[in-house]
Every structure is written in structure tokens, then in C-alpha cells.
Structure 1
Amino acid sequence: MKGHYQNILCVLYDTHKQDEVVAQAIHVAKSHQAKLTIMLALETLPPNANIVMESFSYIDSEQSMDSAAESWLQSQSETWSTDYPVTCEARFGHPFMEVMKKIINDKHDLVIKLSETTIIDRLFGSDDLQLLRKCPCPVWVVHRGNAKQYASVVAALDLNYHYPEHEISVRKQLNLDILRHATEIALLEFAQLHIVHVFDSVPEHILRGEFISVDEDAMQHDLASIHKERDEELDRLLEELDKEREAGVLDYLQPQRHLVHGYPRKEIAATATSLAADVVVMGTVARLGVPGYIMGGTAEETIHQLPCAVVGLKPDGFVSPISFDD
């Protein structure tokens, strides 16, 4: 998929104030003429509930909850479908697993959901991070109150290719995919597209600790060389993107470049915030083929610092660690 969505899943984890994320999903689906499914995923009563409740009371409570959820979704579906055709369904069980089963079995190419807001000091909750780590398709997480027309879209790229040879092509492809998706969103929202890359030479915490001696002139020369290398790679990526887009798209968007020297785990979020980013498009998987290496540390720390929507992408070849039989 090159930034074009065909089968979108909008995930609801409760029935409280969901209209804004549904409106966002309809907005995206309408632009791409995509199929849109709205799924209400609710947790069933805990397994030990039947221990403290009489059996008939437990069954009645569970059936009542399921019936009420189905009724609410049917009522809402009639309202939502007046704007754009949607398919609605409710699933009960473990919400995250039910969502993953739906995504994998129905081959959705974009998931949209509201971020969890129950943890005050964390803008993204555990299920958000689980999806960003393990969902095979792009995940668009919106903050409550943030589902509005975006004015500023940030594509966060890692243009550092000083890795083993077999990883370089994967990283280049991921950067191109990030640009594709960010371009698509910027066009959808009539927004300014910003491209952000943060680079460093000697990590600042090492310099502050005086672990090594660094020649200032040599370091400035290295930084200039790195800047030139990354700028040239960005030129290459934009040229490739320009070839596959309609004529004049990049001229219309006039993407702004931000090659920033600093510590990526801090400066990516800081730069996005300074640009008043409404959404950041970024990769959320660091390396393929490394057991347990699902989300990169830089990605996870950055996500927790962003007060805006995030679209998380996986590299080509990513296989979700979760699988289901059809």
C-alpha cells in the first residue's frame, strides 16, 4: 500500500463520546472511498465473576451487557451512516485480542482509534502501545479533542543507514512509506508537511559525563558531513516520491525540512511540538528478525512525549507476533 487506504477499521473501546474519532474515520474513508468498519470491542465480565454471583445472575448480567452494547451500536450506526456508509459490529472478550483478530483476519490496511486517557502522565495507554507494536497495518491514534482538521503534519524519518547491510534497504523503504502516508494526510487535510530528522555524532550524555575527549573542530566537521549525508538522502527520497505521485503534488505541498542536531529521544518530540504538529507519522519498529525487539526505544519514548495524534508504521517484512486461524 502506498499511502492509499481501502479497508479501514475504527476501533471503539467504550460508548462514551466516540463521535469525534468516528468523524475522523469517516473523513479519511470518504477521501479514499474506502470501506469503513466501526468495531465496538468490550471486555466481558471477568472469569471469576460467576464465583461471587449466582449463576443465573451472572448469565443475565452478561447477556444484558451484550444486548445493550449491540443496541447502542445499531442506533449509532444509523446516525453515522447518514454521512458515509459504514459497517458496525460488536465483539466481546479481551478487547485487544478481539481487535487484532479482526485486523488480521479481515486484512485491514488502517486502524483508527482514540488514545486511552486513564493514565494521566501517559498520553498513550497500554492497548495503544500494543497496537503500535504488534498491529501489521498502520495505526492512527487520536487524542480526545484532537480529532479536527490538521494544519501541521510531521513525517519523522530515521535517515541514519549506518547499520548492517541487510537492514539498510528495509530502513530506506520504511522512510519512503512514512513520506507516502504523511503526504497523503497533508493532502487530505490541506496541511503543511514537515519532514523531521534528528541526528547526533557523539551522544550528549557521554559528552556531559566527560567519558571521552572530543576535538570541537573535528566534531563540527563530522556534524557537517552527517548533515550533508542526510540532506542528500532526503533529496533522493523526495525525488522517488515525486516520480510516483501526480505531477505537481510536492510543488503544491512545499514540504519543509528540519534536519536537527540533538538527542533523537528528546528532539523528535520537541521539534514536532515546536512545529505545532497535529499528527506525527513515524516508524514504530526498530529492527526485524530480533526476538523481542518489537518497538524501538526511540519510538516509544517519542510517542509518550507527543501531545498530538500519531500514525505508526511497520517496515516491509514485519509479521505480527500474534496470529489467528481464520
Structure 2
Amino acid sequence: AAAPADRARKVVVSLPYDAGGGQASTWTVLDLAADGTPSGPTGAPFTMGRATRGAIAFTPDGEVGLVAQDDGSLGVFRFDGDTPVVVHARFTGSFYAERVVVDPAGDLAYVIDPNWRNNGGGIYRVAIGCDGSLTDLGLWFPTKLAAGLHLRGERAVLVATDVGDSPAGDTVDLLDWTTEPPGLLDGDPLFPDDQAIVAATAMTANGRHVLVGDNSEFSGLPNRVAVAAVAGDAVTTTQVITPVEDPVAIVASPFDDAALVVSGYGDAVFVLDYAPDAATPFTLRGEVSYAGAAPQLPGDAVMIERGGQRGLVLIAELAGVRRMRFGAGATVTDLGLQSTGTGYTAITGAIGVQP
């Protein structure tokens, strides 16, 4: 069952460096009050695998968190009251995990392996036990360069190439999620070339559009964000917004009127205006007006989607967690940075917030 929508929540962050700048596998827990006020860290840090980036996926009750780690394993923890308990420090299945998506039922997770088909790339499934323990169910269906999966009822949007019998060049695919394995309904190329390296994906709250960020450093092309429209059993690319430097994370407003694009190397967060019925629905508004100093090497971002804190975005930054809030009328308010300390040990990596 889903946890109450209005409640205090835990924010979990990886701290992947030790005091000397070497690799570390440390994780910390911050508190978020029911009114959105941050505090912490509270309690002792805990140890799993190392994660320098990524978003933690939670079960609907918020009790179990899963995250893809740098070595391709899954780190899994659960909360015993306020205390994090490591279930699997490094769960190694038949996959190399890049991202993980928890099924809305909470008893299953989909693991994205970004490799080519002939090297194990595809969507894998793991069963989630009541205590958070995982069982590897193996490869569900093969793909190439999978980078994002968004579930929407009986349909799913997968950002990948070579899905089923998809035509060459298609990089976003619409799947029938009711079949075993999912059936391919439609696909389209996201970009007018094959040079993109996908760093981030997001789906709008209404399910009508998917945003995909390309941060390739090798293409000779400006970084950019593609937008694909989903209507019925069709998916069609509608626009490419360029240039957008290093789009490492994208978050769409729950109010369907804006989105945020986090620029890692750009030390910035950009706002996109969203008009769902327009032929080109997204427009680059510009940078957020920051509370204090601009972001420093911002990374992954997660958002609360329910209750009074709906629209509160948490962004992992060089030495802290920045909070921003989507509001009425497509407003975006920067609420400032919650520090994780100083020195190498304060550098953040993966982040997640209980649903």
C-alpha cells in the first residue's frame, strides 16, 4: 500500500568519496518534515556499494529503496522505523544495472542494462520480497543502449534502440505493457542523427510527453533535449531544444506547465515552459532565479509527487541537496541548499526521496 501522502519523509544520498578523495561507499539520511523543512543528517551513515550518480527507486510504501551502483550491482535498503537497514550491499544479478524502476504494485522492479543486445543489454526483472530481499528473474526482453523507462498504465515508453523488431534509427518506443514480454506499438527517432548519448529522461505528469537529454561530449553537436509526444498507440518526436548544456537530469512539474533541466557542467538549472496542446509544447524560459549562490556541479534530481509537498524537487549538488518547488502558474522557486558538510566527504552522488 502507498504511504500517507502527507508525512515526514527520508531523503537518502550517497557520499562516494572519503576524506582523501578516494572511493567510498557511504550513504547518509536527511530528514524532510511534513511541511518540507529539511534537517539532518540524522543517525549514523550506512554502507552499500558506491554510486556517483543515479536516482533511488522506492517501493510505494517508501520502506524499501533500490539503486543502481557504479559496478552494475543493485544496492538495497529498507527502513526499520527511522533506521536504514542494508538488505543487499551489492546484489549482483544477470544484469549490469544502470537504472532501476519499481513497478507500481511494489513487488517487482525493472532493471535497465544499457549494453548492446549481444552483450546482455535489455530490461531485467527482480522480485522484491516483503523484507526488501531480491530474487533475480532474469532478462525480460533484450534492447540496445536502453536509457529510460516510464510506466503509464497499460503502456510504457522506453528510450532505447533495437527494441523488438523496431526499425533502425528508432530511439524512443511505445510498448504494450500487458503482454509477456511487452509488445512494440510504435517508435520514432528522437534526434536527426545517431550521435546522442542519453543522460536523462522524464515523462510529464499527464503522460503526453517524454523529454530526453543528450549530453554527448564527442558528437561535435550542441547538447540538447528532445521531446516526444505519446497519443494512443503512437509516439512521435515533436521538437529538439538546443543548445542545452549537459542535461544530466530532467524533472517535469506535476502541474503540467513547466519542467526543470539540470545542467551539470553548466552549474545551472533551466526552466522549460510547457503548453501540452501546442505543436512544440516546450519553450526554454531561462535559468532559475537562485536563492544565494548558483548551483555547483548539480546532478540527479528527484521530486515528491503526492500530498502537500507535491512539486518539491531535490537536486544532488557538489556539497549538498538543493530544494526547488514547482508552484501555480508555472512558477519555480529555489529554496536554497542544504549542506552535507565540507571537503571530499560532503560530495554527493545518487539521491532519492520516499514517495
TM-score by length of 1: 0.25
Which has a greater percent of strand?
2
Greater RCO between the two (CA within 8 Å, min separation 6)?
Answer: 1
Which has a greater percent of helix?
1
Structure with bigger gyration radius: 1
